[in-house]
Structure 1
């Protein structure tokens, strides 16, 4: 089944938060250490704009099974053409190539959004995400050793990047 990508609406936020919260206990995809609330994620949601920095739902058979977003990078005008990409997939739908489909979809949207550089901030121990981005031509542009402390374990963060021009 082919996924559909539709702009996220505020009424989708509870499901988006549910998917995001699934990753927190794994300590593999986010530096949040405790579950977040819908209320606390509302300001984050409101930073997305369909005309410049969209957030899309990933849907299978009408069900929201993940999301992909393009976020501002560093908030300064000179970085206008650069965006940070985030992808989160419901734990019951991982391993079904939805991350690949999401990256393929995003690549087709960048020109109309006037974005030519994508960054992904990925923990060094997040092998599935590392592999996904590397397979898609992302390179390590930065390595931040042991910058995250999760449950007494120091973790590396890699900045992966790709240019689309």
Structure 2
């Protein structure tokens, strides 16, 4: 993994957009543009809240985002994590590798608690995070509506450093 550059944003957006139709990973229902994600990209501070990419044969095939939780000073030691993987690499252990490497980085990033928001029906992602000791800390029932169906959101978390 390495710190993402703006040159990677096209690939990051492409991977993200590839998940939209699955209705498993994001509440976006239409594709996003590179331009619309530029400000989000620039909010990632490599020293505290990095956006990281994983390459295979010089091609970005997955990415990890650390974002500040709730945007208030008292939450500075808590970060939200998101992991997205290109279609052809899903289900092959890359998510496990990215999560393991990301959790190793939390100490140097001064992160004590990691949270993630996962659709409750996204069983593969929930299983992945649970295999690393994450627990369900809450559930928001039927808060998302896509294609005329309602979906619940699970809040998954773990204390990673003291």
- When normalised by structure 2's length, the TM-score is 0.98
Map Cα deviations across residues 93-117 of structure 1 (whole Å, 9 max, x no partner): 1111111101110111111110010
Match of 1:118 among 114, 118, 124: 114
Match of 2:17 among 13, 21, 24: 21
Gaps of 5+ in 2: none
Distance in 1 separating the partners of 2:99 and 2:40 = 21
1:59 Cα deviation after fit: 1.2
Match of 2:88 among 81, 84, 92: 92
Distance in 2 separating the partners of 1:113 and 1:136 = 19
1:53 and 2:23 correspond? no
Match of 2:76 among 74, 80, 83: 80
**What is the match of residue 138 of structure 1?**
134
Distance in 2 separating the partners of 1:60 and 1:96 = 13
1:10 and 2:15 correspond? no
In structure 1, the residue corresponding to 2:118 is in which secondary structure? strand
Gaps of 5+ in 1: none
Distance in 2 separating the partners of 1:156 and 1:13 = 29
CA RMSD in angstroms comes to 0.7
1:61 Cα deviation after fit: 2.7
- The list of structure 1 runs, each at least 4 consecutive aligned residues, that deviate by more than 6 angstroms after superposition, is none
In structure 1, the residue corresponding to 2:53 is in which secondary structure? strand
